[in-house]
Amino acid sequence: MKIQGFKTYVVGNPPPHFGGPYWIFVKLNTDSNVTGFGEVYAPPFHPTVVESMIADVCERHVIGEDPFKIENLWRQVYSRGYTQRSDLSLMAILSGLETACWDIVGKELNKPIYELLGGRVHEKLRSYTYIYPDGDQADNVYTNPDLAAAKALKYVEQGFTAVKFDPAGPYSAYDPRQLSLEALETAEKFIKTIREAVGSRCDLLFGTHGQMTASGALRLSRRLAPYDPLWFEEPVPPENVQEMAKVARGSSIPIATGERLASKYQFAGLLREQAASILQMNLGRVGGILEAKKIAGMAEAHYCQIAPHLYNGPISGAACIQLDACTPNFLIQESIETWRGFQADLLKKPITWENGYIIPPSEPGLGVELNEAVAAEHPYTGEKLHLEMHPEPI
């Protein structure tokens, strides 16, 4: 079997844009008419540029190759141009292509990917969602703790047993910083109000996006600790693992991080420094499914768990589900609410979510198929990048 062609889809995610303004999907075709899909997560370039980057990688390293030789593909792409570094743009492209190869392999062998990576150990997968606003809310769940608490309670009534929120304010190109007293008080009010609303029915996941210095994060941690959150997410930027470790040592709250990291090498640093106990790799950026499985194995040896990050589309979500199902130290999977709406429209058969849990599919490969007609009908025409930071100091 040889890969003989590829196609990319840059899909605009309609309002309210939960999961980002657009998603980048890649399709690989083989000479035996087996196709595979992958997703490329958020390189820091406009997607038209990323399409050219995907084409260059495919033409140099993928076309004519055997999709079963995933380790070889990984080493060739990772090492191209004398790099051998975890460059996020290249790693995102590699992730999408690697996932598409696994999809092909699973289909060719008529097995879900999780059966090829050790076998299913979880019959269902606990999931959580961010607290998202309703479409016509005059106020905002991101700034109003009472509104956030009411929405959290709705999620609990749907079946969710964990919700995430980030009231620490915007993230800036000039971070990390000390939060103001007003911001600290707002964060404390948020977690207190939500905890009072949901009681012990629901874990609280306190999300931040690297806004703080280590000392600033510890100030916030002391305010959050009485409400027993399951985790404190990315309290400092990801570039300085030693500072993350300071927070982990000084906080009673488990530290979760990893959405802005790629490859086993960067995650090894987290584990070596004991900087986090919950790893949040994104399957569309970390290096693909096999790389994520290796990281999960490293984490298992350190008694750490995985909770894959997902602020992207359903193909990356399907890849996460395959990893989660065969990983003993899986903790919880991020969902975009209940995988309905446009997420479901993009798939020929939607992801199954029941009463707070994802049910892993039994179909071969990723277990889902991109609806290419729907993808083609929703091209991204905007100018924004997937996520953008506030350009001024806070």
Work out the percent of the chain whose per-residue pLDDT is above 70. Answer: 99
On whether the CB atoms of residues 94 and 287 are closer than 8 A, the answer is: yes
The answer, yes or no, to whether residue 149 has pLDDT greater than 70, is yes
pLDDT mean over 266-287? 98
Backbone angles phi and psi of 32, in degrees to 5: -110, 20
231 and 280 share a domain? Answer: yes
On whether the CB atoms of residues 306 and 289 are closer than 8 A, the answer is: no
The answer, yes or no, to whether residue 228 has pLDDT greater than 90, is yes
- For 259, 309, 367, 374, 380, the CA distances from 384, given in Å and listed in that order, are 20, 21, 31, 22, 10
For residue 88, give the H/E element and its range.
helix 88-109
95 and 139 share a domain? Answer: no
| Boundary (domain end) residue, out of 110, 141, 163 | 110
The number of domains in the chain is: 2
The answer, yes or no, to whether residue 96 has pLDDT greater than 90, is yes
pLDDT mean over 227-250? 98
DSSP code of 346? T
Question: Percentage helix, strand, coil, to 5, in the chain?
Answer: 40, 20, 40
pLDDT mean over 11-30? 96
222 and 346 share a domain? Answer: yes
pLDDT mean over 301-317? 98
Distance CA 11, CA 23 (A): 5
pLDDT mean over 371-383? 98
pLDDT mean over 229-239? 97
The answer to whether position 385 is within a domain reads: no
pTM above 0.85, yes or no: yes
Q: How far from chain centre, in Å, is Cα 48? A: 22
The answer to whether position 228 is within a domain reads: yes
The answer to whether position 163 is within a domain reads: yes
The answer to whether position 266 is within a domain reads: yes
**Residue 390 designated active-site:** no
- Looking at residue 121, its pLDDT comes to 98
Catalytic residue among 17, 46, 122, 209: 209
- Looking at residue 77, its pLDDT comes to 98
The answer, yes or no, to whether residue 265 has pLDDT greater than 80, is yes
Q: β-pairing, 35-40 with 352-354?
A: unpaired
- Looking at residue 314, its pLDDT comes to 98
213 and 106 share a domain? Answer: no
The answer, yes or no, to whether residue 138 has pLDDT greater than 60, is no
Two structure tokens written together for 221: 């941690």
- Looking at residue 158, its pLDDT comes to 97
Distance CA 259, CA 20 (A): 14
103 and 123 share a domain? Answer: no
243 and 299 share a domain? Answer: yes
Q: Which residue has the higher pLDDT, 138 or 391?
A: 391
pLDDT mean over 216-230? 98
66 and 148 share a domain? Answer: no
Beta bridge partners of 256: 233, 278
- Looking at residue 102, its pLDDT comes to 99
The answer, yes or no, to whether residue 124 has pLDDT greater than 70, is yes
Q: Residue 32: which CATH number?
A: 3.30.390.10
pLDDT mean over 214-235? 98
- Looking at residue 134, its pLDDT comes to 87
- Weakest mean pLDDT among 81-85, 325-329, 332-336: 81-85
- Looking at residue 360, its pLDDT comes to 98
Catalytic residue among 61, 122, 309, 386: 309
- Burial code (b: 16+ CB inside 10 Å, e: under 16) for 346-376 equals bbeebbebeebbbebbeebbbbbbbbbeebe
137 and 259 share a domain? Answer: yes
83 and 127 share a domain? Answer: no
- Looking at residue 151, its pLDDT comes to 96
61 and 122 share a domain? Answer: no
- Weakest mean pLDDT among 66-80, 133-147, 283-297, 315-329: 133-147
137 — pLDDT class (breaks 50, 70, 90): low
Let me know how long the chain is. Answer: 394
- Looking at residue 48, its pLDDT comes to 97
The answer to whether position 382 is within a domain reads: no
The answer to whether position 392 is within a domain reads: no
Residue corresponding to tokens 């609410």: 337
215 and 99 share a domain? Answer: no
The answer to whether position 372 is within a domain reads: no
Q: Residue 197: which CATH number?
A: 3.20.20.120
The answer, yes or no, to whether residue 74 has pLDDT greater than 80, is yes
| Boundary (domain end) residue, out of 91, 110, 129 | 110
The answer to whether position 378 is within a domain reads: no
Average pLDDT, the chain: 97
**Residue 309 designated active-site:** yes
For residue range 170-196, what is the model confidence (pLDDT) as tens digits? 999 999 999 999 999 999 999 999 999
95 and 121 share a domain? Answer: no
Domain enclosing residue 103, as ranges: 3-110
